């Protein structure tokens, strides 16, 4: 709240609940299209972060918020005494299953491989909590009526499919950078889809900067804040026709 007040004191207009649909370059300006209107900008800072990966199976979108979740910490209380299923095999999936096992009646964990990538101590804890493992298996579909009722899984070795009666599905199959807007603008991405920037947080598209998790790296709050400050200073100087730091004018980006 303090940062918000300081920002507004300097004349910043904060628009909330207004999703950006597209960013298009028009000469030396950028047209930003949202669900509520359009804006013309001299520079753009992309700080769209990362998002949870989807399974992209039938029923996932349909039952989002009605049995499909991506955060056990947020939604575990809703499934006290109920049956839940976790999808994934890393530390995040294991942590989700542990969290849910504290209150859920039954916890299933589905993983496409024969073992979890999670730490040994975590795996032992899952066994102690009675988590039911479904190895070498994938989710084929999520079914229900008003809410989730069952999940169809398939064993990758035998090809056998079976339905598990559950009340909730928690998807924990990793995260991906939210870089679609940047890609449409012609911003260079690395092989994992993260935005590539130079030392001043500028991309290969002059006037477009990026900061935070969307650029990869260690992905911590403190580094995101530092990158945001760097991007903001250089965006300001770019608009004013100057640059901050040696070699800052170069559009070459770091690998």
CA distance 183 to 205: 11
List residues with catalytic annotation: 71, 74-75
**Token pair listed for 113:** 């491989």
CA distance 100 to 76: 6
Between the two ends of the chain, the Cα-to-Cα distance in Å is 36
DSSP reduced 3-state for 105? coil
CA distance 92 to 117: 10
Contact 60, 224 (CB under 8 A): no
């Amino acid at each position: 709240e303090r940062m918000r007040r300081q920002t507004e004191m300097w004349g910043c207009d904060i628009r909330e609940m207004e999703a950006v649909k597209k960013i298009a370059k028009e000469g030396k300006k950028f047209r930003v299209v949202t669900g509520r209107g359009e804006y013309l900008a001299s520079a753009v800072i992309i700080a769209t972060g990362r998002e949870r990966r989807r399974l992209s199976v039938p029923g996932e979108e349909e039952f989002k918020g009605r049995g499909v979740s991506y955060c056990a910490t947020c939604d575990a209380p809703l499934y006290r005494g109920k049956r839940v299923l976790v999808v994934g095999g890393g530390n995040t999936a294991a942590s989700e299953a542990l969290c849910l096992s504290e209150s859920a009646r039954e916890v299933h964990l589905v993983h496409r491989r024969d073992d979890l990538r999670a730490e040994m101590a975590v795996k032992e804890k899952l066994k102690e909590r009675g988590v039911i493992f479904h190895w070498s298996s994938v989710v084929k579909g999520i079914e229900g009526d008003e809410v989730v009722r069952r999940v169809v899984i398939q064993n990758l070795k035998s090809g056998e499919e079976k339905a598990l009666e559950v009340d909730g599905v928690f998807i924990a199959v990793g995260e991906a950078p939210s870089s679609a807007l940047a890609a449409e603008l012609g911003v260079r991405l690395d092989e994992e889809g993260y935005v590539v920037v130079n030392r001043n947080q500028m991309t290969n598209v002059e006037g477009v900067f990026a900061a935070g998790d969307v650029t990869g790296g260690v992905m911590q709050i403190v580094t995101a804040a530092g990158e945001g400050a760097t991007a903001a200073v250089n965006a300001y100087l770019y608009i004013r026709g100057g640059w901050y730091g040696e070699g800052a004018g170069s559009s070459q980006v770091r690998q």
